[in-house]
C-alpha cells in the first residue's frame, strides 16, 4: 500500500530538479534481442517489478544474468545448459502484462508452458497479431483456456512481414524472430515509437545490419550474417512516460521542474505530442542542453479546453492520457479519444474520489470537466485502487493535493513501471509524506 500522511501546506520551492529512470517499454523490447548475444551490458535498467519478473524468468531458463540494482546495470554472460522437458513458468507469467509475449521468440528454444499474462488489465489485447508473425517464422503454439504452450521450434526465414496498425510489440517480435532465424527480412509499416529506435540502435551497436527506410516505410534487418559473439554495452533511453508523469505533478503543484534527459534529445524521446499540449496551454518550457525545463509556477489553465486524440505516434501517447487528466482539478476541460485501447477510462472512477468530474461518451471517448474547487475535509481518509499502472500514477499525483491521509491499494501495478514512486512524489512535494507501508501479495488483484 502507498500511503500519504496528513499535511498542511506544500513547501514552496522555486525549482524541482529530477532524474528519470530507464524506459520500461524499451527494456522489454531490447531484452529478447540482447539475449541472442553471447554477453553484454545494459545500463539505466529500471528497478521495477516488470523487469524483475523478466530477469527471473530468463534465469529460470538458464540465462546468466546479474542485475546490480544500485547502479541499474544488467550484466549478461551467456546461457547455462538448456533445460530439458517442459518448463512451466505460469507462476511468473500470471503476474506480468501481455508484453511478456516479446520473449516468446526466445521461448521457442525451449518447450514452455505459461498462463496468459494478466498484469495489465487495460483494454482487450488480441495476441493473434503477434502469433501470426511468429508462425511465419516457424514458431509453433498451442493456446487453450488461458494457457499457452510455446513449443521448441526450428525457425525459418521470412522475406517480408507486414505489421498491422503499426503495432509496437509486433514490430519488436518481427525483429527478434529475424535475428533468431538469421533472416534477411523487410518489416513493412513498423511501429515508429522511440523504444523501437532504441532497439535498432542497440542492434547497430552490435553490428547488426538494420535500419529504418522512410521511403519504403520499412525496417530492413539483414540478420543472415549476424555474429552473436559481439559484445554490446548499451544505455537504455529515459522513460518518457515517467517524464510526463513528473511534469504533470509539477503543474499540479504549480512548480517549475527541470528533468535531466541524459543526452537524449526531444526528437529521440518523441515528446513533441506532449510539448505541443504545453504550447496550447501557454505553458513555457525549454528543451536544451539535453534537459527539459517546464515553468509550472506560472501555469494558468483554468477555463481552457483541449481536444486530445491518443494512439500511436505521432498522436498523443495512450499512456499519457490518464496522466494529463489530473490537470482537470486546475480548471482544465478536455475531451479525450483513445484510438489504441477501448474501455481505458476506468481510472476516472478512482479519480472521482479526488473530485474529478467527467462524462463517458463511449468506450473510446470521455470528456473530463473543469473540476477545480472540490474541497475535502482534512480529516477525510481517501482510499483508492491502482487499477492499472498509469491509473496508480495518476492517483499518486492527485493525492499530493489532499491534506488528509490517502491510501492507494494494489501498488504492485505502480511498482510494475515506476522506480521508487514514493520518493519521486516526495521530491515533487519537497516533503516526506509518501511511503510504501507493506508489500502486497504476489498476485496483482
Please state the φ and ψ torsions of residue 187, each to the nearest 5 degrees: -110, 105
Can you tell me the distance from the alpha carbon of 258 to that of 250, in angstroms, rounded to the nearest whole number?
A: 10
**Claim to verify: residue 305 and residue 403 sit in the same structural domain:** yes
How far is Cα of residue 201 from the mean position of the Cα atoms in its chain? 19
Given a cut of 90, whether residue 301 has pLDDT beyond it is yes
Can you tell me the distance from the alpha carbon of 77 to that of 63, in angstroms, rounded to the nearest whole number?
A: 8
Question: Which residues constitute the domain of residue 221?
Answer: 24-235
**Claim to verify: residue 313 and residue 183 sit in the same structural domain:** no
End-of-domain residue from the set 235, 256, 286 = 235
Q: Which residue would you say has higher pLDDT here, 95 or 253?
A: 253
Given a cut of 60, whether residue 443 has pLDDT beyond it is no
**Claim to verify: residue 11 and residue 30 sit in the same structural domain:** no
Given a cut of 80, whether residue 141 has pLDDT beyond it is yes
What band does 439 get if pLDDT is binned at 50, 70 and 90? low
**Claim to verify: residue 362 and residue 417 sit in the same structural domain:** yes
Note whether residue 133 is domain-resident: yes
Given a cut of 60, whether residue 444 has pLDDT beyond it is no
Given a cut of 50, whether residue 441 has pLDDT beyond it is no
pLDDT tens per residue across span 167-194: 999 999 999 999 999 999 999 999 999 9
Contact call for residues 165 and 187 (beta carbons, < 8 A): no
Residue 162's SS3 state is: strand
Given a cut of 70, whether residue 101 has pLDDT beyond it is yes
**Claim to verify: residue 54 and residue 8 sit in the same structural domain:** no
β pairing state of 285-288 and 291-294: antiparallel
Given a cut of 80, whether residue 10 has pLDDT beyond it is no
Note whether residue 242 is domain-resident: yes
Report the number of distinct structural domains present in the chain: 2
Amino acid at each position: 500500500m502507498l500511503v500519504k500522511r496528513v499535511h498542511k501546506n506544500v513547501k514552496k520551492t522555486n525549482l524541482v530538479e529530477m532524474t528519470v529512470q530507464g524506459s520500461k517499454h524499451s527494456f522489454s523490447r531490447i531484452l529478447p534481442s540482447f539475449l541472442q548475444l553471447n554477453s553484454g551490458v545494459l545500463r539505466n535498467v529500471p528497478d521495477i517489478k516488470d523487469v524483475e519478473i523478466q530477469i527471473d524468468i530468463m534465469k529460470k531458463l538458464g540465462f546468466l544474468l546479474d542485475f546490480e540494482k544500485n547502479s541499474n546495470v544488467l550484466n549478461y554472460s551467456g546461457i547455462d545448459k538448456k533445460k530439458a522437458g517442459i518448463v512451466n513458468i505460469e507462476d511468473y507469467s500470471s503476474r506480468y502484462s501481455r508484453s511478456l509475449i516479446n520473449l516468446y521468440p526466445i521461448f521457442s528454444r525451449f518447450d514452455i508452458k505459461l498462463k496468459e499474462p494478466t498484469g495489465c488489465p487495460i483494454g482487450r489485447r488480441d495476441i493473434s497479431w503477434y502469433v501470426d508473425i511468429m508462425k511465419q517464422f516457424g514458431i509453433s503454439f498451442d493456446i487453450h483456456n488461458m494457457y499457452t504452450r510455446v513449443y521448441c521450434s526450428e525457425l525459418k526465414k521470412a522475406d517480408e512481414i507486414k505489421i498491422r496498425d503499426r503495432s509496437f510489440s509486433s514490430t519488436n517480435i518481427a525483429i527478434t524472430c529475424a535475428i533468431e532465424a538469421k533472416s534477411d527480412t523487410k518489416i513493412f509499416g513498423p511501429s515508429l515509437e522511440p523504444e523501437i529506435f532504441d532497439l535498432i540502435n542497440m542492434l547497430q551497436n552490435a553490428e547488426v545490419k538494420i535500419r529504418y527506410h522512410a521511403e519504403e516505410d520499412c525496417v530492413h534487418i539483414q540478420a543472415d550474417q549476424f555474429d552473436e559473439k559481439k559484445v554490446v554495452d548499451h544505455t537504455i533511453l529515459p522513460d518518457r512516460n515517467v517524464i510526463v508523469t513528473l511534469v504533470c505533478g509539477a503543474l499540479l503543484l504549480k512548480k517549475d521542474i527541470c528533468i535531466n534527459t541524459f543526452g537524449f534529445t526531444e526528437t529521440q524521446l518523441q515528446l513533441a505530442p506532449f510539448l505541443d499540449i504545453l504550447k496550447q496551454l501557454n505553458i513555457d518550457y525549454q528543451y536544451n542542453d539535453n534537459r527539459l525545463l517546464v515553468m509550472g509556477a506560472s501555469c494558468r489553465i483554468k477555463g481552457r479546453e483541449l481536444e486530445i486524440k491518443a494512439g500511436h505516434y505521432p498522436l498523443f501517447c495512450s499512456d499519457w492520457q490518464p496522466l494529463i487528466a489530473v490537470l482537470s482539478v486546475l480548471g482544465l476541460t478536455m475531451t479525450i479519444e483513445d484510438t489504441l485501447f477501448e474501455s481505458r477510462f476506468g481510472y476516472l472512477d478512482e479519480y472521482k474520489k479526488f473530485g474529478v468530474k467527467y462524462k463517458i461518451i463511449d468506450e473510446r471517448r470521455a470528456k473530463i470537466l473543469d473540476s477545480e474547487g472540490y474541497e475535502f475535509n482534512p480529516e477525510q481518509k481517501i482510499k483508492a485502487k491502482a487499477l492499472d499502472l498509469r491509473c496508480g500514477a495518476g492517483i499518486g499525483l492527485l493525492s499530493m493535493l489532499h491534506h488528509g491521509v490517502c491510501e492507494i491499494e494494489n501498488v504492485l501495478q505502480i511498482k510494475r513501471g515506476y522506480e521508487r514512486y514514493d520518493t519521486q512524489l516526495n521530491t515533487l512535494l519537497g516533503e516526506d509524506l509518501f511511503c510504501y507501508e507493506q508489500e502486497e501479495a504476489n498476485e496483482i488483484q
